[in-house]
Amino acid sequence: MKRRRLLACGPAVLAAATILPQNMHASLSAIGISQPPLPYAFDALEPFISASLLKRHHLVHHQTHVAEMDSPLMPRQDLIESLALRLHWINMRLMNLRTATQHSGGARMLAARLCMIRDLVRKHGGGHVNHSLFWRWLASPGSSPRTPAGDLANAFEASFGGFSGFQSRFTSAALSVEGNGWAWLVLRKDHSPAIMTTRTEDNPMMRSVVPDEQLGIPILGIDMAFHAYKHQYQDDCQAYVKAWWQVVNWNQVMIDYHSFASYSHLLQPPLHDPLWGGALSQDAECKSGTMLGKHAAKGIDESQSRPGLQRPRQRCVQRQ
């Protein structure tokens, strides 16, 4: 999205910024708009993740999301929380505009701009957050325990029957992702661990995207997009997932598990929000042919709404 189109949306962006909290727990949320260097060398994950694959993933794919977020849309540094709250705020404004667009061209134009903002926040804001978390959950082979210990190990025992049960279910979830997406280990409101998947660059904390009962704080995730493994494993995503287990940074995952109480408020409904009721409709206000008209901004799922951007079929080959 071009900067001039975002500048035209200034009032809506400024209004959204006023609802954002000032600080978050530094353990998980200190992800700004700039892309920090990896906490390890590009060859640190070899032979499981090659230096060339890691360099391409970090410097090309992740950097693309960062470049697209270089706009007035995200003027603050607490990106994780603002990501969740902005999406919710935008969707509430679109709901309020539903009736107005039937009578006002100005309201229709504002709604179209909000749809463009929402698309950028969801795709590139989500992509930047997801990848920033992805890197922190990796470590060179042998530098981290092979399995978690302590409270997290006990939680796995209670929820999955132990680490092997968790690993099996998480692997199955990762291999079930069709096209681009992620598999996540999240903590629910009651602090219980759960496994979930999201499409494209969606994040488990995204209000108005993830149903209320499925919201969770991610403490581990794997990128199942084709670009995450194709230059080393071609279409064999099963081999990629098997290799990824060898470089999981369980020390960091356990830290994030114990930090849950510091940011669990993200899973609560926003204050003074009479429209809160879980996930809101994502597409009705943005798709062509509805309230915005034929040539207005299209849906947030651009793979379904834009010609030439067909959602990729499953390219993962699970070999025996």
CB 199 within 8 Å of CB 299:
no
Separation between Cα atoms, residue 216 and residue 205, nearest integer Å: 6
- According to DSSP, residue 222 is labeled E
Is residue 177 scored above 60 in pLDDT?
Answer: yes
For 80-118, the pLDDT digits (tens) are 555 655 555 555 555 555 555 555 666 667 767 767 777
For 10-28, the pLDDT digits (tens) are 333 322 222 222 332 333 4
What's the sign of the alpha-carbon dihedral 41, 42, 43, 49?
A: positive
Is residue 316 scored above 80 in pLDDT?
Answer: no
Of 114, 132, 135, whose CA–CA distance to 124 is shortest? 132
DSSP-assigned beta bridge partners for residue 220 = 185
Element (H, E) at 199: strand 193-199
Extents of the domains making up the chain = 3-25+48-138+276-305, 150-266
Element (H, E) at 70: none
Residue 30 confidence (pLDDT): 47
The SS3 assignment for 8 reads coil
Among residues of the chain, what percentage have pLDDT more than 70?
Answer: 57
- What is the overall mean pLDDT for the chain? 71
In terms of pLDDT, which residue wins out, 124 or 183? 183
- Quick one: how many helices (H) and strands (E) in the chain? 15, 3
Q: Which long-range contacts (CB under 8 A, 24 or more apart) does 291-294 make?
A: 291/97, 291/98, 291/101, 291/102, 291/108, 291/111, 292/101, 292/108, 292/111, 292/112, 292/115, 293/108
CB 138 within 8 Å of CB 247:
yes
Q: How confident is the model at residue 220 (pLDDT cuts 50, 70, 90)?
A: very high
Is residue 140 scored above 60 in pLDDT?
Answer: yes
Among residues of the chain, what percentage have pLDDT more than 90?
Answer: 34
pTM above 0.75, yes or no: no
Q: How many CA atoms lie within 13 A of 45 on its CB side?
A: 26
For residues 272-306, one letter each, b for 16 or more C-beta atoms within 10 angstroms of the residue's C-beta and e for the rest, the string is eeeebeebbebeebbbeeebbeeebbbbbbeeebe
Q: How confident is the model at residue 269 (pLDDT cuts 50, 70, 90)?
A: low
Separation between Cα atoms, residue 216 and residue 199, nearest integer Å: 15
Q: Show the tokens assigned to 156.
A: 């796995």
Q: How confident is the model at residue 119 (pLDDT cuts 50, 70, 90)?
A: confident
Q: Show the tokens assigned to 233.
A: 């494993």
Laid out side by side, the sheet with 217-223 consists of 193-199, 181-187, 217-223
Residue 59 confidence (pLDDT): 86
Separation between Cα atoms, residue 195 and residue 188, nearest integer Å: 10
CATH class of the 150-266 domain in this structure: alpha beta
Q: What is the mean pLDDT of residues 207-224?
A: 84
Q: Show the tokens assigned to 284.
A: 């009705």
Is residue 264 scored above 60 in pLDDT?
Answer: yes
Separation between Cα atoms, residue 214 and residue 205, nearest integer Å: 9
Q: Show the tokens assigned to 270.
A: 């926003």
